[in-house]
Amino acid sequence: MVDVEISGILEERLRRLVDLGIYSSLSEAVRDAVRRLLDQMDLRNLALKLYTLSEASFQYIVEFADSSFDDMAEYFITKGYMPLIGLEGPDDVQLLTPGKKYILDPLTIYIVFKSNLYKHLAKLAQRGYVFLVPDSAKNWSEVLISRRMLHLLESRNLVEFFNSEVVNLGLNLAKAQLTKHEQYAIAYARDTHGATLITEDFRTRGYARSMGVNAVSSLSIIYTLRDSISVGELRELIYYLKSIPVIIPIELIKSIWGIDIV
């Protein structure tokens, strides 16, 4: 809730609009005025500025701009910026352990779906690995895409949903420049012993780690299955991921896997 003080002729005019039945209340009139103001602004440009001047996650920026992951990534690249998603260092790839809980945020679900990584995630799910998603993700901004992705993952028993409403975010987390979905994912992982957050967002991982949460890249899924995935399959998957675009330094892959995929 934000309190707005309006007086004088502005208040008078707004009240007359309500009297004329154009708006049901002063609050509705103010909300409509704010929406009209934002419609006149270049939200993608403002989002890019916010991204470069703050520690906001890429997911938060996409939501702020009322855009999509694809459109915002393309906009960033045309402006000479690369969204900070993918691998940042060797600690981002870890061996996953069956029986433990792994929390996925919306960006990771999107990348898992678009890169066909979900086929490998399915192999781990069949072996007893537990992948969880905040149920708030069912209503996130990319509605049509998310419904298809989440329906596929849920119908094949690849992921489970946890109740976002019962998650205690905590003061510091609530003030972070993260989407609610990211906040729920981090808080749930924080409060669930041994849980790990899987996210491709550099800044989301960094914030999770500052909260004491283990956070890794979705390439940990492939790393866990490395004995059953050929070099050709790994090369193809990395090609798909880099086209999203996901940052994957080839030298880092070589040091982690011990192979040259170029």
The confidence score (pLDDT) of residue 143 equals 46
The answer to whether position 233 is within a domain reads no
Report DSSP state, residue 194. Answer: T
pLDDT (tens digit per residue) in 115-135: 888 889 989 988 989 999 998
The chain-wide mean pLDDT, for the chain, equals 85
Phi/psi of residue 113, nearest 5 degrees = -75, -50
The answer to whether position 209 is within a domain reads yes
The answer to whether position 232 is within a domain reads no
Question: 97 with 196, same domain?
Answer: yes
Question: 219 with 120, same domain?
Answer: yes
Question: 129 with 20, same domain?
Answer: no
Question: 33 with 101, same domain?
Answer: no
Non-local (6+) Cβ contacts of 61 within 8 A are 47, 48, 50, 51, 72
Residue 97 tokens, joined: 């352990």
The answer to whether position 162 is within a domain reads yes
Yes or no: say if 141 and 115 are a contact pair by the CB < 8 Å rule. no
pLDDT (tens digit per residue) in 8-45: 777 777 787 787 788 888 788 777 766 776 666 688 99
The answer to whether position 62 is within a domain reads no
Question: 32 with 102, same domain?
Answer: no
The confidence score (pLDDT) of residue 144 equals 46
Enclosing domain of residue 20: 1-40
Which of 117, 120, 156, 77 has the alpha carbon at shortest distance from 239? 117
Which of 94, 89, 107, 132 has the alpha carbon at shortest distance from 222? 94
Question: 30 with 95, same domain?
Answer: no
Task: Flag whether pLDDT at 78 surpasses 90.
Answer: yes
Question: 36 with 98, same domain?
Answer: no
Which of 103, 111, 158 has the alpha carbon at shortest distance from 136? 103
Which of 215, 163, 159, 207 has the alpha carbon at shortest distance from 189? 215
Question: What is the C-alpha to C-alpha distance for residues 156 and 125, in angstroms, rounded to an integer?
Answer: 10
Residue 78 tokens, joined: 């045309």
Q: For residue 80, is it left (φ>0), alpha (ψ between -120 and 50) or beta? A: left
Question: 98 with 187, same domain?
Answer: yes
CATH number for the domain spanning 161: value is 3.40.50.1010
The answer to whether position 109 is within a domain reads yes
Question: 35 with 99, same domain?
Answer: no
Q: Number of folded domains in the chain? A: 2
**Where do the DSSP E strands lie in 66-213?**
101-104, 130-134, 160-162, 196-198
Q: Under DSSP, is residue 248 helix (H, G, I), strand (E, B) or coil?
A: coil
- The answer to which of 114-118, 156-160, 220-224 has the lowest mean pLDDT is 156-160
The answer to whether position 177 is within a domain reads yes
Report DSSP state, residue 15. Answer: H
> Max CA-CA distance within the chain?
73
Residue with the two structure tokens 């938060």: 60
The answer to whether position 64 is within a domain reads no
Question: 210 with 144, same domain?
Answer: yes
**What's 30-91 look like in SS3?**
HHHHHHHHHHCCCHHHHHHHHHHHCCCCHHHHHHHCCCCHHHHHHHHHHCCCCCCEECCCHH
pTM for the whole structure: 0.83
Question: 184 with 103, same domain?
Answer: yes
Question: 31 with 125, same domain?
Answer: no
Question: What is the C-alpha to C-alpha distance for residues 40 and 219, in angstroms, rounded to an integer?
Answer: 40
